[in-house]
Amino acid sequence: MGNHSGELRAFINRCGQMNAPLDLGTFKSGVLKCLQHSAVSEARSGEVRGKPVLSMPGKDELPPEFLEAMARKAPIFARTERRPLTPLPVESISGNVRVFV
């Protein structure tokens, strides 16, 4: 859940790219960014705003065989469907906020 310019918004806690948990990501400048692969979604609507970036901190320390296997999977990741986030209804009455799941 986030407050963007006074508007409360809530979404199911799953990224539209690879079902990663969004609560580990960031909410800044009106966008939600997934921590797992940096996919970016509009905070107001949940619409896709940017393609995921597949990066891996510390990859220089991994065995070359692992990196080669991941490189072979890159075409699969590139074709993975990116869906908008699923919004949830939000209500704010007298300072109390309710999210309907």
Res 56: pLDDT: 64
CATH number of domain containing 69:
2.102.10
Domain that residue 29 falls in: 2-91
**Is 96 a domain residue?**
no
Between 81 and 95, the more confident residue is: 95
Residue 78 predicted with pLDDT over 80: no
Q: What pLDDT is stored for residue 91 in this prediction?
A: 93
Decide if 17 contacts 41 (C-beta within 8 A): no
**Global pTM?**
0.70
Domain-located, residue 26: yes
Is position 98 within any domain? no
Domains contained in the chain, number: 1
Q: What percent of the chain has pLDDT over 90?
A: 31
Could you report the per-residue pLDDT of 3-32, keeping only the tens digit for each? 877 888 999 999 887 788 999 999 988 889
**Sign of the C-alpha dihedral computed for residues 44, 49, 52 and 57 taken in this order:** negative
